[in-house]
Amino acid sequence: SGILLNHPEMISPISVSSAFIPDNYKIENWNRSSLSELKFSKINPKIAVIAGYEGIWHSTDGGYNFKPLNSGIPNSQYYRKSKSAYIIEDSSVHGYLAGTFGGLFYYDLSKKKWQNILLDKKNEKVVKIIDFNGEIAVFTSSNAFVLNKDLKTISKLELKRDEKETNLTMLELFFQLHTGEIWGLPGKLLFDLVGIILIFLSFSGLYLWIAPNTSKVKLFVKEKSRILKWKGYKWFQKYHLKLGIYSVAVLLIIGITGFFMRPPAIVMIMDGEIPVKYIPGFKMENPWHDRIRNAMFDSVSNRLLIDAKDGFWVSSSGNHPIFRRQSPPVPIFAMGATVMQQEANGDYIIGSFSGLFRVSPESGRTIDALTGEAPYNISPVKPGSNLVTGYFKTPLGDEFITTHFGGLMPVYAPLGLNNRFGMPKELERDFTMSMWNYLFEIHNGRIFEFLVGDFYILIIPLSSLLFIISLVTGVFDWSYLKITSVLHKKRRERSKMIPQDRIDISEEIEEKMI
């Protein structure tokens, strides 16, 4: 699974049928990020657009019914995933913008078809589309671009950092070490090769464990079969030891980093950093590369705010902003901010798996948006009671959130859902999962929750520990065999030079030494 996860472009066209997916992964009530963002038209409140991990959906009746709008954006379910949408209606063009994992797309309402908009002559993973000083800012996971609302001009927005040296968080370091990505494509290919070796080591190790016991049943095994089995045993033993010792350094990196990439060990490296200059062979030309997770524009102070993997960054005001790292207004869960918006009164709405909070940038006052009270015991490591994945407000002022498990629910809506925002039947009936996401759920052990319940969280840490123990003891076995073979060779050489009565004594001493 790790080898295939290293190359999403290879498996992106493949989806997994719902028949092979546990029931707790099925989409219900817009849960599991199927609704990340919902935008209403400012001119016609009956028009609404949804962006989510299941693609783009639109409504022409005020959000009571939604239809898919996915024909023309990437067919791949992996690249179709979307975090942000935008409605263009105050310019010469009228339509929707969709920021997907496969790039930026524009839906022309008059032509009723999607058009791919290249950013810097390529497609990048888009994480947020926002208003920006009368124009449109598009944030990808690595860059930012500014578009005129007529979509005729696109310029790259320079995101300068005020930092003495670029650091890599320990989380980033461990994740990139685990995949080999830290050394680019050659590193990934090396780790892929070691992954193939690991598959061989697993099967050969199992054979070496089973074969000695079965070969002892001589009464029921023909002599020829026993000889073949013995030859197979010797072949597996030879290459199990050779490949194991040649790849043990990379295997240890995979095992140790894997242990720290899941709870509870991940807490130990959460706040750590390391200067990039201390990482051999690692180059980082763009300090934002694959780090931007969310963004917003504060129209009151004329500042941009970016939630990145290495912290919360706030720009100076002006046309040439310089970003400085600050503490976020509220603790943001380790997976990043899922909601970053500004209210009409200037307040911020910030949400993550830690909850949803309303922040006043002037007074610094923060309240829990779901309870209206001061937040209590918020942790960037421990999930809150509501794993917030989205937030939106209707033209009438009703507020709603979506959560990872529970899906859509009102924050403040006197009428509740009132039959609005019903999830399309196609989304439930035709549910599939991209192969990449399916393998990722297997790789991190979450998919086994339906079998072992909450204990699934221990699968990776315990497996990693056992894996490390196997590697260490394997090195010991290899060393032991090397030492004994050298001793036997020396014994044979001595046996040619010394009398037979002294050979027995030397063998006894050698056995004691071993």
DSSP-assigned beta bridge partners for residue 168: 274
Which amino acid makes up residue 481?
A: L
Q: What is the pLDDT of residue 233?
A: 87
Measured at the CA of 80, the angle between CA 73 and CA 122, to 5 degrees, comes to 70
3-58 pLDDT per residue, tens: 999 999 999 999 999 999 999 999 999 999 999 999 999 999 999 999 999 999 99
- Cβ atoms of residues 55 and 431 within 8 Å: no
What are the angstrom distances between the C-alpha of 64 and each of 46, 48, 61, 94, 307? 9, 10, 6, 22, 33
Q: Which helix (H) or strand (E) holds 256?
A: helix 223-260
Which tokens in the block code for residue 25? 């992964």
**Percent helix / strand / coil, the chain, rounded to 5:** 35, 25, 35
Closest CA to 352 of 29, 36, 28: 36
Instruction: Give yes or no for residue 366 having a pLDDT over 90.
Output: yes
Bridge-based pairing state of the strands 303-308 and 311-315: antiparallel
Q: What is the pLDDT of residue 220?
A: 47
Residues 198-215 have a mean pLDDT of: 85
- 227 or 161: which carries more pLDDT confidence? 161
Q: What is the pLDDT of residue 413?
A: 81
Please identify which residue in the block is written with the tokens 């939630």: 307
- 78 CB-near residues (< 8 Å, 6+ apart): 8, 11, 12, 101, 434, 435, 436, 437
Q: What is the pLDDT of residue 72?
A: 92
Measured at the CA of 368, the angle between CA 365 and CA 373, to 5 degrees, comes to 80
The torsion angles phi and psi of 289, rounded to 5 degrees, stand at -55, 120
Q: What is the pLDDT of residue 309?
A: 96
Residues 338-355 have a mean pLDDT of: 96
Q: What is the pLDDT of residue 217?
A: 45
- 195 CB-near residues (< 8 Å, 6+ apart): 2, 3
Please identify which residue in the block is written with the tokens 């597996």: 236
Instruction: Give yes or no for residue 491 having a pLDDT over 90.
Output: no
pLDDT band at residue 429 using 50, 70 and 90 as cut-offs: confident
Q: What is the pLDDT of residue 122?
A: 95
- Cβ atoms of residues 303 and 348 within 8 Å: no
88-112 pLDDT per residue, tens: 998 888 999 999 999 999 999 989 9
Using a cut of 0.85, tell me whether the model's pTM lies above it: yes
Which tokens in the block code for residue 325? 């790292």
Closest CA to 1 of 350, 437, 333: 437
Residues 265-276 have a mean pLDDT of: 93
* Distance, C-alpha 110 to centroid of its chain: 37
Q: Which helix (H) or strand (E) holds 428?
A: helix 425-429
Q: What is the pLDDT of residue 492?
A: 80
Q: If you average pLDDT over every residue of the chain, what do you get?
A: 91
How far apart, in Å, do the first and last CA atoms of the chain sit?
41
Which amino acid makes up residue 442?
A: I
Q: What is the pLDDT of residue 340?
A: 98
Please identify which residue in the block is written with the tokens 């009746």: 61
What are the angstrom distances between the C-alpha of 87 and each of 54, 79, 234, 390, 404? 19, 21, 67, 18, 25
Please identify which residue in the block is written with the tokens 């019914």: 65
The torsion angles phi and psi of 214, rounded to 5 degrees, stand at -75, -30
Q: What is the pLDDT of residue 339?
A: 98
pLDDT band at residue 143 using 50, 70 and 90 as cut-offs: very high
- 39 CB-near residues (< 8 Å, 6+ apart): 48, 49, 51, 85, 86, 87, 392
What are the angstrom distances between the C-alpha of 420 and each of 45, 62, 229? 13, 8, 67
293-311 pLDDT per residue, tens: 999 999 999 999 999 999 9
Q: What is the pLDDT of residue 232?
A: 84
What are the angstrom distances between the C-alpha of 233 and each of 205, 228, 238, 340, 480? 10, 8, 9, 60, 19
Distance CA 322, CA 315 (A): 5
444-455 pLDDT per residue, tens: 999 999 999 999
212-255 pLDDT per residue, tens: 765 444 444 556 666 777 788 889 999 999 999 999 999 999 99
Distance CA 178, CA 255 (A): 8
CA atoms within 13 A on the CB side of 483: 10
Instruction: Give yes or no for residue 256 having a pLDDT over 50.
Output: yes
What are the angstrom distances between the C-alpha of 214 and each of 197, 205, 209, 211? 25, 15, 10, 5
Please identify which residue in the block is written with the tokens 């009428």: 415
Percent of the chain with pLDDT over 90: 77
Residue 71 CB neighbours (<10 A): 11
